[in-house]
Amino acid sequence: MPTIDHHKPGAFCWVELSTTDQNAAKGFYESIFGWTSKDEPMGPGSFYTMFQLAGRDVGAGATLRPELLAAGVPPHWALYIQVENADATAAHAAASGGKLLAPPFDVMDVGRMSVIQDPTGAAFCIWQPNKGMGIQVEGEHGSLCWADLNTPNPERAQRFYADVFGWKFTADTHGDPPSGYLHIQNGEEFIGGIPPLGPQSAHIPPHWMSYFMVTDCDATAAQAKQLGATFCLESMTLENVGRFSILKDPQGAVFALFQPLPAKP
């Protein structure tokens, strides 16, 4: 199993589910991704669930806090980006037009984080690790493999993320005409993208979409549907890339599946 020992600054390093029924969500994701769950007490009547593959961390889940529910925040997967200094990055993000939804704070001795909304409205977290490095597995069924930024203003988003994290953006050249998809590059690694605006873009709130690798997109999507998930986008093939599907879990959190093309011999 390919493992991760550290994350580079600017890399996606953690993914965290906020849900209305933590125990039901655990069962759902354990079934489709083969995860095991390790619950850690957070206080009276609450716990933080570490999702694992072969004993190594791949993400986490917790119950959506009452004040967030009251504010209309739906169940969701939150994406974390690695930084060297959470305070400096948060200040930089604010100066670049972002909004600090939660100023930097310590998560016990695990790390330091902040929740930020980019200038176009999409929220994400930054993570300065201490004892908690984040995701420890890659390239396996059930591991985070990609993330898309759905934004109504790709140009403004590019300027913000390039300024704050040093990301590069390159336009996809496949197709005639080209798709308009923008690839996100952190250093030498391609980590995600920005889909082009479409007819439905005005009706979709700005957000980051987490993609999880699967060995069989159609089979996993069908299993998820049997367990109560609904399709936002049924399985489809991207030429020369792979097959993917977008789903809403039984509690309402949206996520994506991705089956890469087989490796060439």
Q: Is the pTM of this model over 0.85?
A: yes
Token code pair at residue 129: 């690790």
Query: What's the pLDDT score for residue 264?
Result: 62
Domain ranges of the chain: 12-129, 144-260
Question: Residue type for 247, please?
Answer: L
End-to-end CA distance of the chain: 20
Superfamily of domain 144-260: 2,3-Dihydroxybiphenyl 1,2-Dioxygenase, domain 1 (3.10.180.10)
Q: Are 82 and 167 in contact (CB under 8 A)?
A: no
User: What is the rounded CA–CA span in Å between residue 165 and residue 89?
Assistant: 8
Q: pLDDT tens, position by position, for the chain (265 residues)?
A: 888 999 999 999 999 999 999 999 999 999 999 999 999 988 788 899 999 999 999 999 999 999 999 999 999 999 999 999 999 999 999 999 999 999 999 999 999 999 999 999 999 999 999 999 999 999 999 999 999 999 999 999 999 999 999 999 999 877 667 788 999 999 999 999 999 988 877 788 999 999 999 999 999 999 999 999 999 999 999 888 899 999 999 999 999 999 998 866 6
**Residue 202 — φ and ψ, nearest 5°?**
-65, -20
Q: Backbone dihedral region of 78: left (phi > 0), alpha (psi from -120 to 50 degrees) or beta?
A: beta
Question: Tell me, which fold does domain 12-129 have in CATH?
Answer: 2,3-Dihydroxybiphenyl 1,2-Dioxygenase; domain 1 (3.10.180)
User: What is the rounded CA–CA span in Å between residue 68 and residue 75?
Assistant: 10
Pairing of strands 230-238, 182-186: unpaired
User: What is the rounded CA–CA span in Å between residue 259 and residue 265?
Assistant: 18
Residue 31 neighbours by CB under 8 Å, 6+ apart: 223, 227
